[in-house]
Amino acid sequence: MQLSNSSQYAIRILAYMADQKDSKLMNATELAGALYIPYKFLTKIMTELVKVGLVVSIRGREGGYKFEKKTSEIMVSDILDIFNDSIKDEQCVLGIGFCNGLCKCALHDQWMEPKLLLQRMFRESSLEDIAGRGCKI
Amino acid sequence: MQLSNSSQYAIRILAYMADQKDSKLMNATELAGALYIPYKFLTKIMTELVKVGLVVSIRGREGGYKFEKKTSEIMVSDILDIFNDSIKDEQCVLGIGFCNGLCKCALHDQWMEPKLLLQRMFRESSLEDIAGRGCKI
DNA sequence: TATTAATTCTACCTTTAAGTAGTAATTATA
DNA sequence: TATAATTACTACTTAAAGGTAGAATTAATA
């Protein structure tokens, strides 16, 4: 019952970037060092984020990453979607494909409330919202 | 963001068993057939459940499985614990080892509410409670 | 006692997530 | 233009989850 490492890392990276006062370019070495994420794994994740258009990368010397979209427009749920890690409506907590009102799983009703809360939390929290919360790791 | 297959299967198996009116012995073939779970994988899971004392097994002809404890005393959280799938207090949603009041992750506060709901749901739902809910799959 | 139907054990196979390594491509700057 | 610093690409390795196969063990019953 947890997020994948990729999602966790991605959220931490983006929240860290969003927290930088000036929207300066940040490079992989810096991010990996600050966030204790394996460098090579971090660059792999960043490349994903570039591909989906959340951030842009500047290659070459003095290069790095910066946001493509405004941090107020990037929701945590967007990040989870990239790594197939979201909580969609169709997903049954017990893995039953056709769990719905007619034929539902044994936990369907109890699951509904926390599920809705989770969905809301992920969908309504933007990077701007969460940046700067807690410690910077 | 989901339970492991083992946990999902185990919950479905035990809920199904709990739903049988007479607490008769149920064998692996029957359970696998009814619940569309691979037979060999099901027996592997059942052996786990026997080892931790949730069910007893009767070997040999006319054998099968039945509950060791009362279904009102088996909580869903007990099942999740077996497969290292629970939502413990220490677990940070972003995987930070020391996420707590002093140094917390960016999602700490938002995560708190759904987390508590999930914990409560798992901890307070017994097999007796959920048996017979929804369809029998 | 032999047979049969059941669980259990051991070992293996497959797939996926997680992480690593090396090199190519790019670009600012000296 | 050469160099150094950066991201991107390709391919590999490792570990864990998920699942399979077959033989051993157990016990009821004919």
SS (H, E, C) chain B: CECCHHHHHHHHHHHHHHHCCCCCCECHHHHHHHHCCCHHHHHHHHHHHHHCCCEEEECCCCCEEEECCCHHHCEHHHHHHHCCCCCCCCCCCCCCCCCCCCCCCCCHHHHHHHHHHHHHHHHHCEHHHHCCCCCCC
> Is B96 in contact with A130 (Cβ distance < 8 A)?
no
Is A35 in the B-facing interface, judged by CB distances under 8 Å?
no
Is B34 in the A-facing interface, judged by CB distances under 8 Å?
no
> Is B1 in contact with A107 (Cβ distance < 8 A)?
no
pLDDT above 70 coverage of chain B, percent: 99
Q: Which of A107, A111, A125 sits opposite B110 (nearest CB)?
A: A125
pLDDT at residue B96, rounded to an integer: 93
Q: Looking at the domain assignment, is residue A90 inside a domain?
A: yes
Q: Looking at the domain assignment, is residue A135 inside a domain?
A: no
Number of domains in chain B: 1
Residue type for position A31: L
State which residues form the domain around B77: 5-130
Task: Return the residue of B nearest to A9 by Cα.
Answer: B94
Q: Looking at the domain assignment, is residue B55 inside a domain?
A: yes
pLDDT at residue B122, rounded to an integer: 97
ipTM, 2 dp = 0.91
pLDDT at residue B31, rounded to an integer: 97
Q: Looking at the domain assignment, is residue A125 inside a domain?
A: yes
Q: What's the DSSP call for residue A75?
A: B
Q: Looking at the domain assignment, is residue A137 inside a domain?
A: no
A43 CA from D8 C1′ (Å):
9
What would the pLDDT profile of A6-15 be if each residue is shown by its tens digit? 999 999 999 9
Q: Looking at the domain assignment, is residue B48 inside a domain?
A: yes
Q: Is A135 in contact with B103 (CB distance < 8 Å)?
A: yes
Q: Looking at the domain assignment, is residue A99 inside a domain?
A: yes
CATH code assigned at A19: 1.10.10.10
**Beta-bridge mates of residue A57:** A65
Chains A, B: CB contacts within 8 A come to 117
Q: On chain D, which bases lie within 7 A of the protein's CB atoms?
A: 4-11, 17-22, 25-29
Closest nt to A40 (CA→C1')?
C20
Q: Looking at the domain assignment, is residue A136 inside a domain?
A: no
